[in-house]
Chains A and B, each alone.
Chain A
Amino acid sequence: MAFDSFSEFLAMGGHAPYVWSAWGVTALLLLATVWHARAEQRQLIKGLKRRARRANSARGNAQ
């Protein structure tokens, strides 16, 4: 452990604004890309299912 206490860890020896903003932006962007990819996948599958249902009922009506 490079720090003696948790508050010292947060303070980063006076470099807190630099260290935490760089790490924060990185973490935020990584999490955002994962969230976006999941939302994208869900939306696509939902849309495809809706389309399939509509196509099925249209075919049913035609017969």
Chain B
Amino acid sequence: MWAFIHKLGSPKWFYGISAKLQPWFWAAAALLIVTGSLWGLAFAPADYQQGNSFRIIYVHVPAAFLAQSIFIAMAVSGLVFMVWKIKVADMAAAVMAPLGAAMTFVALFSGAVWGVPTWGTWWMWDARLTSMLILLFLYLGVIALRGAFTSRDSASRAASVLAMVGVINIPIIKYSVDWWYTLHQPASFTLTSRPAMPTEMWLPLVIMVLGFYCFFIALTLMRTRSEILRREANKRWVQELVTGQVVKVPAEEAR
């Protein structure tokens, strides 16, 4: 178990294994998102109350799921980095943050646009909407905090702590619709229970959610590899990888 964790924590090993995994996740993401989009936009029946505006659900829900899951992933990575000093975890956390912010923005934007024909307003200080806005600010805070330090280690630790503290917002988002039911409807969709909507509406949504998760994994693998190259640029294995030949370096440089 420990050997496995340390192997996983080795940037060189991660660089190799992620190269093998990456294409599968890209392919799955493309296939699922294209299928889900066509199905959701053109084939799923219109909602009997909302008409065709309900098709926004197929981008709104997957984005909102990812927005929250990425923050949890970031907090867990932060914890792993702080406790076991595994650098790859910190690199992954660093590259996740912008996608998380983008997904939070997509959830807020698509929700606002959806609100106009459905609720008659694009924004209200409803608990769900407000806690999602706070999530966006938390993401921006994590990104800004990372950029605010000259020392990488301080930046990593500060960002990890903010992610671990900020994760308290996630259960608040989740239960906001039950605790303070003002505008946003309670969850209409969960991965674990039978849906309240008909199968031909629900299935494309499942496909889109899975597609978004595959996209997140693929992008995180790809960008973590870039981050490894950036941070390990002075390591011998990176130089050998780039030049394609064995590099002779003095002993003290090799470390």
Q: Using a CB–CB distance below 8 Å, which chain A residues touch chain B?
A: 1-3, 9, 12-15, 18-19, 21-23, 25-26, 29-30, 33-34, 37, 40-41, 44-45, 48-49, 51-52, 56
**Do B113 and A22 have beta carbons less than 8 Å apart?**
yes
A32, closest chain B residue (CB): B102
Sorting the interface of chain B by its residue count into under 10, 10 to 19, 20 to 34 or 35 or more gives 35 or more
Interface of chain A, helix or strand or loop or mixed?
Answer: helix
Complex Cα spacing A21 to B215, Å: 21
Residues of chain B contacted by A41 (CB below 8 angstroms): 222, 225-226, 229
A6, closest chain B residue (CB): B42
Q: Using a CB–CB distance below 8 Å, which chain B residues touch chain A?
A: 33, 37, 41-46, 51-53, 55-56, 59-60, 63, 98-99, 102, 105-106, 109-110, 113-114, 116-117, 215, 219, 222-223, 225-226, 229-230, 233, 238-239, 242-243, 247
Interface of chain B, helix or strand or loop or mixed?
Answer: helix
- A37-B223, A52-B239 are contacts. A13–B63 as well, Cβ < 8 Å? no
Closest 3 CB pairs of A and B: A22-B110, A15-B53, A26-B59
Nearest chain A CB to B46 CB, angstrom units? 6
**Do A23 and B41 have beta carbons less than 8 Å apart?**
yes
Residues of chain A contacted by B225 (CB below 8 angstroms): 41
B242, closest chain A residue (CB): A48
**Do B226 and A37 have beta carbons less than 8 Å apart?**
yes
Complex Cα spacing A33 to B52, Å: 28
Nearest chain B CB to A44 CB, angstrom units? 5
A-B contact count (CB 8 A): 92
Complex Cα spacing A14 to B56, Å: 14
**Do B242 and A45 have beta carbons less than 8 Å apart?**
yes
Residues of chain B contacted by A29 (CB below 8 angstroms): 102, 105-106
Residues of chain B contacted by A19 (CB below 8 angstroms): 41, 52-53, 55-56
Complex Cα spacing A11 to B98, Å: 33
**Do A22 and B233 have beta carbons less than 8 Å apart?**
no
**Do B42 and A2 have beta carbons less than 8 Å apart?**
yes
Nearest chain A CB to B44 CB, angstrom units? 6
B55, closest chain A residue (CB): A19
CB-contact partner of A22 in B56, B222, B238, under 8 A:
B56
17 A-B pairs with CB atoms under 8 Å apart are A2-B45, A2-B52, A9-B41, A12-B52, A14-B52, A19-B56, A22-B56, A22-B59, A22-B60, A22-B113, A25-B109, A25-B110, A37-B226, A44-B229, A45-B229, A48-B238, A56-B243
**Do B233 and A51 have beta carbons less than 8 Å apart?**
yes
Residues of chain A contacted by B243 (CB below 8 angstroms): 49, 52, 56
Residues of chain B contacted by A2 (CB below 8 angstroms): 42-46, 52
Complex Cα spacing A21 to B247, Å: 52
Nearest chain B CB to A35 CB, angstrom units? 11
**Do A30 and B41 have beta carbons less than 8 Å apart?**
no
- A26-B63, A45-B242 are contacts. A18–B106 as well, Cβ < 8 Å? no
Complex Cα spacing A44 to B222, Å: 13
